[in-house]
Structure 1
Amino acid sequence: MANSKDVKCVIFDKDGTLVDFHKMWLPWAVDTVRLCEAATKMPVGSAVYKTLGVDPHLGKVSMGALAEKTLDGIRADVATTLQQFGFHSTHTEKIVKTCVPEASPGLAAPVCDLDILFRELKEMDIKIALCTADSRRATEEQMQILGIEHMLDDVVCGNDKGIIPKPSPHCAIQICKRLGVELDEAVMVGDTIADLKMGRVAGLRASVAVLSGVGTRETLSEYTDYYLDDASTLPSLIRDEIHQDFYNKRG
């Protein structure tokens, strides 16, 4: 039986944390640039890639709008980028609505065996939540493809009504409230500054950085309590370090 202050909830980011970010979003970035250049009839691709945080030559996504913002935020940033080429804001708003698509044609490839990971957490009496900047439709489709939708206790998406996106603590606080979990009984797991800052500002037990996405030890260090190569070893981290560190601090 779990102790009163054991970890009782894990809030996962999706892309880069559960799903391979590059396989999912590089095809989307290529499509977005192609559509933007066709709509503007100008070589805006390099600037749009930079705004998104995408290096098309290396096939790599780093920190930027794509990794850290909702669809609305990405569209706003791309619109601002297009305005630098002389387009009026009214025009760019129309362009991004059709040229910055909601769904990605990319592959929903898991970063580890999610079925095993989630079953281990359930055996520890830990609730599982998902907090993503992606849209609800795309998220639900991907979770069904991965076969883990039935193991999620709560899901918050970037286009849900009334949310305040990461790094605001709003989503983490609301998830804990709905699941009946104290803030210091929850852990945030993610691959970006926005993910980990949300956990830290919300007052969660810990923010765990996974290095399977766009972040590095250096870029994530300010808001990270623990590092993992990927989420597969999270259960042992909770048992062997997070629980123990909490009780050691209590004296």
Structure 2
Amino acid sequence: MTRPLRLVVFDMDGTLIDSQEFILEAMRRGFAAAGLPAPSDAATLSIVGLSLPEAIATIAPQLPPAVVLQITGHYKQGFADLRAERGGEADAPLYPGARAALERLHAEAHTLLGVATGKARRGLDHAFHAHGLGHFFATAQTADLHPSKPHPSMLETCLHETGVDVAHAVMVGDTEFDIAMGRAAGFRTVGVSWGYHPVARLRSAGADIIIDHYDALDDALERLGVPA
């Protein structure tokens, strides 16, 4: 009997790579360029995963839309400058065990991998190139081509591109937006404790399982009923 394909979709920032230093600095630069005080680091990390305009509007709801767009442009420029100055995603480390987990899953004949990220495509391409990750993924969705998380569009497109049944699909992420997106798309969800949202937010969002290390991912997938 042929086993059905399963799909495991990962968030990027806070799940596979730790890019918080660059996110925080780009946000500081974005607000400074607009002549405004930057939000706290905690506030910035709380909105990682949303598309950039929605993220800025969420942490600074008093700002008019024109100023939000202005800061958005400054943030993008700040991140581009950081890539030139420090290497950007190349200097943002993979979390412990991330590469090994991708290698294990990618080696399984009946497992396809995907990415659903708040990054723009350019940023994702930088991350793929910097860490040699692109070949792992059968589908990759970015915020510049979809509505912001937690809208299910990115995950629905992952299903469409891979042909996997939603009953065999899992979303892995570090924020409540990842978990809410997964639930909205009908995916099972795995929260990771090492990212940018505390475990309590992941639980509140309805994560099916929360893991503390990538070594626990394979067992979590089995427990969710999506074995290889």
- Match for 1:100 among 42, 54, 75? 75
Q: In the alignment, what sits opposite 2:141?
A: 156
| Pairs aligned (count) | 216
Distance 1:94 1:131, change over 3 A: closer
3-state secondary structure, aligned to 1:10? strand
Q: In the alignment, what sits opposite 1:186?
A: 169
Q: In the alignment, what sits opposite 2:85?
A: none
Q: In the alignment, what sits opposite 1:20?
A: 18
Q: In the alignment, what sits opposite 1:33?
A: 31
Runs of 4+ in 1 over 4 A off after TM superposition: 75-80
- 1:189-218, CA deviations, whole angstroms, 9 ceiling, x for partnerless residues? 0011110011112111x2100011112221
State whether structure 2 residue 94 is matched by structure 1 residue 117. Answer: no
State whether structure 2 residue 125 is matched by structure 1 residue 140. Answer: yes
**Percent same amino acid at aligned positions?**
22
- Match for 1:213 among 195, 198, 211? 195
TM-score scaled to structure 2, two decimals? 0.82
Distance 1:29 1:231, change over 3 A: farther
* Whole-Å separation in 2 of the counterparts to 1:142 and 1:49: 25
Letter in structure 1 aligned against 2:95: V
Q: How does 1:77-92 map to 2 (within 5 A)?
A: 77=58, 80-83=61-64, 90=66, 92=67
Given that 2:175 and 2:202 are in contact with CA atoms closer than 8 Å, whether structure 1 keeps it comes out as yes
Give the CA deviation at 1:94.
6.3
Give the CA deviation at 1:77.
4.7
State whether structure 2 residue 63 is matched by structure 1 residue 69. Answer: no
Give the CA deviation at 1:21.
3.9
Distance 1:156 1:34, change over 3 A: same
Given that 2:12 and 2:115 are in contact with CA atoms closer than 8 Å, whether structure 1 keeps it comes out as yes
* Whole-Å separation in 2 of the counterparts to 1:103 and 1:149: 24
- Match for 1:49 among 39, 59, 63? 39
Give the CA deviation at 1:75.
4.7
Given that 1:128 and 1:151 are in contact with CA atoms closer than 8 Å, whether structure 2 keeps it comes out as yes
Q: Which segments of 5 or more consecutive residues in structure 1 lack a partner in the other structure?
A: 38-43, 84-88, 247-251
Give the CA deviation at 1:126.
1.0
- Match for 2:220 among 237, 244, 250? 237
- 1:104-133, CA deviations, whole angstroms, 9 ceiling, x for partnerless residues? 324321112433211110233310100011
Whichever of the two has the greater Rg, that structure is 1
Given that 1:108 and 1:145 are in contact with CA atoms closer than 8 Å, whether structure 2 keeps it comes out as no
Distance 1:15 1:230, change over 3 A: farther
Distance 1:32 1:217, change over 3 A: same
Q: In the alignment, what sits opposite 2:156?
A: 173
* Whole-Å separation in 2 of the counterparts to 1:215 and 1:79: 19
- 1:81-103, CA deviations, whole angstroms, 9 ceiling, x for partnerless residues? 445xxxxx55x256325422266
Give the CA RMSD over aligned residues. 2.6
Distance 1:96 1:32, change over 3 A: closer
Given that 2:118 and 2:142 are in contact with CA atoms closer than 8 Å, whether structure 1 keeps it comes out as yes
* Whole-Å separation in 1 of the counterparts to 2:225 and 2:58: 40
TM-score scaled to structure 1, two decimals? 0.75
